[in-house]
């Protein structure tokens, strides 16, 4: 998959973030609860461990993710050193406040007017950083968009006299080791629309849904359950979407592209129910003993 990672922007970001890390107490890393490891920029881990900063992992969009899988991820992350993980939907009233409460516990020495708690919000595009910041500030300060990378520069906001937060641009990293991670990011709209073929992403998504959430596919698109018919795969799921919606090209063939977009839109908007694309077990199976070794170093 060919993806434009804006390497120039990334070099500037790494330099700025490295400097800023020294002046912050806690990294608030916003992740997509549906694919928390695929949506974790390895640079965040590198930068924060370089400065030995604790990390609050926020599994955002939990309203869209499978609750049992989210619970498994919380257990997975909370077992890590200097890490606390919480799950929330920052779009829901009052949920964002959990971030400040949890961050304070990670830096108990920073909680008054003289030593305010300084949080640095990091994460890839479209995971909800701006929505979280706006909710904490209770106003529209950071631009919220559904297209990746709308936040361009580092911005610091005072929440109270005892806590501040800094917004960082949502940037990607140069090389995604596993193609399935790129496909999860594309399915979840973290990678921009020009970076991939919708049909390929939809077939990948359909295969996960078929394996883990076949009932959701059956309920929405009359898709046969595995075992009910032979040869059901990601392609036949997308065709089932086309059949259900009556998407046909001139000549009668299925409009595969249009059905692919429908499947992706339904997943992104939660129309298929609460779905998670990866689990701690699938993550460990993919990386094996390599898990953790993909973290780049910062000079």
Residues that bind ligand GDP (CB under 6 A): 60-61, 63-64, 89-91, 123, 125-131, 144-146, 150-151, 170
Our measurement of the distance from residue 203's CA atom to the centroid of its chain's CA atoms, rounded to an integer in Å, reads 20
What minimum distance in Å lies between the beta carbon of 256 and ligand GDP? 26
Considering the complex, state which of residue 134 and residue 262 has its C-beta at the smaller distance from ligand GDP.
Answer: 134
Considering the complex, state which of residue 170 and residue 182 has its C-beta at the smaller distance from ligand GDP.
Answer: 170
Considering the complex, state which of residue 31 and residue 240 has its C-beta at the smaller distance from ligand GDP.
Answer: 31
What minimum distance in Å lies between the beta carbon of 191 and ligand GDP? 12
Q: Phi then psi for 203, rounded to 5 degrees?
A: -65, -40
Tell me how far CA of residue 280 lies from CA of 49, 58, 70, 262, 290, in angstroms. Answer: 22, 16, 9, 28, 14
Cα-only R_g, the chain: 20
- Which long-range contacts does 211-216 make (Cβ < 8 Å, 24+ apart)? 212/66, 212/275, 212/276, 213/66, 213/272, 213/273, 213/275, 216/272, 216/273, 216/275
Considering the complex, state which of residue 91 and residue 294 has its C-beta at the smaller distance from ligand GDP.
Answer: 91
What minimum distance in Å lies between the beta carbon of 271 and ligand GDP? 12
CA dist., res. 111 & res. 70, Å (int): 30
- Quick count: other Cβ atoms within 10 Å of Cβ 231? 6
What minimum distance in Å lies between the beta carbon of 277 and ligand GDP? 15
CA dist., res. 57 & res. 109, Å (int): 20
Residue listed under structure tokens 């997308």:
238
Considering the complex, state which of residue 226 and residue 270 has its C-beta at the smaller distance from ligand GDP.
Answer: 270
What minimum distance in Å lies between the beta carbon of 125 and ligand GDP? 5
| SS3 assignment, position 247 | coil
Considering the complex, state which of residue 48 and residue 110 has its C-beta at the smaller distance from ligand GDP.
Answer: 48
What minimum distance in Å lies between the beta carbon of 171 and ligand GDP? 10
């Amino acid at each position: 998959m060919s993806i434009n990672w804006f390497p120039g922007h990334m070099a500037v970001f790494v330099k700025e973030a490295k400097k800023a890390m020294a002046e912050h107490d806690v990294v608030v890393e916003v992740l997509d609860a549906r694919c928390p490891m695929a949506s974790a920029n390895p640079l965040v881990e590198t930068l924060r461990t370089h400065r030995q900063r604790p990390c609050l992992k926020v599994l955002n969009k939990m309203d869209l993710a499978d609750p049992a899988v989210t619970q498994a991820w919380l257990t997975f992350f909370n077992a890590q050193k200097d890490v606390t993980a919480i799950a929330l939907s920052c779009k829901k009233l009052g949920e964002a406040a959990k971030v400040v409460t949890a961050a304070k516990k990670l830096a108990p020495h920073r909680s008054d007017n003289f030593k305010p708690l300084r949080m640095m919000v990091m994460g890839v595009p479209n995971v909800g950083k701006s929505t979280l910041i706006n909710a904490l500030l209770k106003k529209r300060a950071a631009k919220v968009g559904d297209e990746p990378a709308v936040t361009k520069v580092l911005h610091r906001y005072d929440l109270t006299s005892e806590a501040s937060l800094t917004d960082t641009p949502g940037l990607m990293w140069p090389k995604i080791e596993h193609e399935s991670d790129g496909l999860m990011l594309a399915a979840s709209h973290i990678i921009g629309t020009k970076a991939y073929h919708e049909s390929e992403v939809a077939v990948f998504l359909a295969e996960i849904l078929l394996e883990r959430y076949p009932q959701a596919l059956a309920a929405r698109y009359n898709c046969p359950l595995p075992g009910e018919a032979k040869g059901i795969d990601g392609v036949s799921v997308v065709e089932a979407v086309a059949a259900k919606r009556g998407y046909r090209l001139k000549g009668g063939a299925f409009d595969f592209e249009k059905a692919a977009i429908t499947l992706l839109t339904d997943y992104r908007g939660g129309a298929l129910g609460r779905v998670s694309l990866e689990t701690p077990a699938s993550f460990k199976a993919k990386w094996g003993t390599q898990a953790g070794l993909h973290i780049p170093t910062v000079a």
